[in-house]
Amino acid sequence: MTTPLELSSGHGDNESIVLTAAGEIDMSNVARFRDALSQAGADGTGLIVDLTKVDYLDSAGLTALLPYAPRIRIIATAVLAPVLAISGLDPVTTVVTGP
């Protein structure tokens, strides 16, 4: 059984937008994730993507992050951080390990 994707956004430090995802990001819902990334990053301010509540992230989710990589900061769990590094996102964006 999959965990439904929940998305929310708000303001973080330094006027950054924080997009928080919870659940699973896969091919079945990646369009919603991609749209949320687009809307959250539309005004050009800093964008933080909080993935600390994501249980599963497949290649579709990783691909959705790629266009935003140069201007986002990703907060990931210790389990998810190596996946982001192996995918090639780590060298082109900031990935920090959160709770």
- Domains in the chain (CATH in brackets) are 6-97 (3.30.750.24)
First vs last C-alpha separation in the chain: 24
- Write out the chain in H/E/C secondary structure: CCCCCEEEEEECHHHCEEEEEEEEECCCCHHHHHHHHHHHCCCCCCEEEEEEEEEEECHHHHHHHHHHHHHEEEEECCCCHHHHHHHCCCCCCEEEECC
pLDDT in tens, 59-90: 999 999 999 998 899 999 999 999 999 998 88
Count of alpha carbons within 13 angstroms of residue 33, beta-carbon side: 30
Model confidence at 33: pLDDT above 90: yes
Report the predicted TM-score, pTM, of the whole model to 2 decimal places: 0.92
